[in-house]
């Protein structure tokens, strides 16, 4: 073995020090991450118990309103029948909200149980989104909000643009975004919904002119049960599940979500979804196939694969 010159020795030492430094930095980084994750898990557990009391309000309040209104209608005198229409529209509104909340909760439960699957159909995206907007007419009127819906896709053939995806899931995703946009909008503001296609992906953006989301909050909005307090109404309804559900559903559809937001100016959520391919549920047999039988491999045998 040849001797190292001093210079080579120093070079070598330097290199090793650098490596050590790098390793140390990585460990420190991992440690930080670990701390953060730990904190998050603790929070999540605490929030879960909050969630129960929270959800009670979410379900019981609309129900009480519905019951109360129905009772009022029953006891109305014939002369006051004109009031029925507005009361029924309030009942409809409360029931709509209840239905929306329950849907979210059931979907969240299904995602957490791993029992949710895409059910792909040809979807008329323009109409699907239109129906979501229409369903919020009551809320939009109440806050005097204006929805600017821009659909930027020309159908290739025929009059209707179809996209292969799961209609129910898309609907819930848009409903959650629109509901949030309404919740965090100032009275009399605008909400922009824009749909376009790029590289065979469907893009849908929902933009509001509300409060926006701070840097810090952007990191937690997808966590379950998290609600931001910095809203316009003093009390925000909701269970803090909407965005975490959207994330889960987009995972299922192979999609993605992007946020652009500035505090005080508003937020813009853009979702991107690839067109669904047909499912592959089986395949032909050939020699590329391996077989893992029912028994454990015997001692001494290759423990890898039983052909």
The pair of three-digit structure tokens given for residue 63, joined into one six-digit string = 């129900």
* Contact pattern for other proteins over residues 41 through 80, marking x by CB under 8 A: x-xx------------------------------------
106 touches other proteins (CB under 8 A) = no
Name the 3-class secondary structure at 236. Answer: coil
In the complex with other proteins, the residue whose CB is nearer, 37 or 88, is 37
The pair of three-digit structure tokens given for residue 30, joined into one six-digit string = 């991992």
Q: Which whole-number Å values give the CA distances from 45 to 38, 51, 224, 238, in the listed order?
A: 11, 10, 10, 18
Look-up of token digits 């694969």: 305
292 touches other proteins (CB under 8 A) = yes
- CA–centroid distance for 140 within its chain: 22
d(CA 226, CA 243): 9
200 touches other proteins (CB under 8 A) = no
The pair of three-digit structure tokens given for residue 43, joined into one six-digit string = 């929070």
Q: How far is the CB of 286 from other proteins (least distance, A)?
A: 8
The pair of three-digit structure tokens given for residue 165, joined into one six-digit string = 């995806």
148 touches other proteins (CB under 8 A) = no
d(CA 137, CA 90): 12
**Piece of the chain touching other proteins by CB under 8 A; list 84-92, 104-112, 128-136, 258-266:** 104-112
Q: How far is the CB of 48 from other proteins (least distance, A)?
A: 9
281 touches other proteins (CB under 8 A) = yes
Member of 79, 113, 156, 235 binding other proteins (CB under 8 A)? 113
Q: Is the dihedral of CA 240, 246, 248, 249 positive or negative?
A: positive
**Piece of the chain touching other proteins by CB under 8 A; list 53-61, 120-128, 166-174, 296-304:** 296-304
Q: Which whole-number Å values give the CA distances from 131 to 135, 142, 144, 170, 236, in the listed order?
A: 6, 18, 19, 12, 24
118 touches other proteins (CB under 8 A) = yes
Member of 293, 298, 299, 300 binding other proteins (CB under 8 A)? 293
108 touches other proteins (CB under 8 A) = yes
Q: Which whole-number Å values give the CA distances from 226 to 3, 40, 221, 238, in the listed order?
A: 63, 11, 6, 10
Binding site for other proteins (CB under 8 A): 26, 37, 40-41, 43-44, 108, 111-118, 222-224, 244-245, 247-248, 251-252, 279-283, 285-286, 288-297, 304-306
């Amino acid at each position: 073995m040849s001797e190292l010159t001093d210079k080579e020795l120093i070079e070598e030492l330097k290199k090793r020090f650098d490596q050590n430094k790098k390793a140390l930095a990585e460990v420190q980084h991992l440690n930080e991450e670990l701390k953060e994750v730990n904190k998050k898990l603790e929070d999540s557990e605490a929030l879960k118990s909050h969630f129960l009391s929270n959800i009670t309000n979410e379900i019981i309040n609309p129900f009480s309103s519905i019951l109360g209104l129905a009772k009022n209608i029953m006891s109305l005198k014939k002369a006051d029948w004109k009031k029925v229409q507005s009361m029924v529209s309030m009942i409809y509104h409360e029931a709509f909200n209840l239905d929306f909340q329950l849907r979210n909760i059931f979907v969240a439960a299904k995602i957490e149980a791993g029992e949710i699957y895409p059910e792909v159909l040809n979807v008329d995206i323009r109409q699907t989104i239109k129906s979501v907007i229409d369903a919020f007419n009551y809320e939009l009127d109440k806050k005097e909000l204006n929805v600017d819906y821009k659909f930027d896709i020309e159908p290739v053939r025929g009059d209707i643009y179809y996209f292969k995806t799961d209609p129910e899931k898309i609907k819930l995703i848009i409903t959650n975004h629109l509901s949030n946009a309404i919740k965090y909008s100032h009275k009399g503001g605008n909400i922009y919904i824009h749909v376009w296609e790029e590289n065979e992906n469907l893009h849908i953006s929902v933009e509001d002119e509300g409060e926006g989301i701070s840097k810090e909050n952007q990191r937690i909005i997808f966590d379950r049960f998290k609600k931001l307090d910095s809203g316009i109404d003093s009390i925000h309804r909701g269970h803090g599940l909407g965005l975490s559900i959207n994330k889960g559903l987009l995972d299922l559809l192979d999609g993605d979500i992007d946020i652009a937001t500035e505090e005080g100016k508003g937020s813009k959520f853009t979702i991107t979804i690839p067109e669904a391919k047909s499912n592959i549920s089986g395949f032909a047999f050939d020699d590329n196939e391996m077989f893992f039988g029912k028994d454990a491999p015997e001692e001494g045998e290759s423990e890898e694969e039983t052909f």
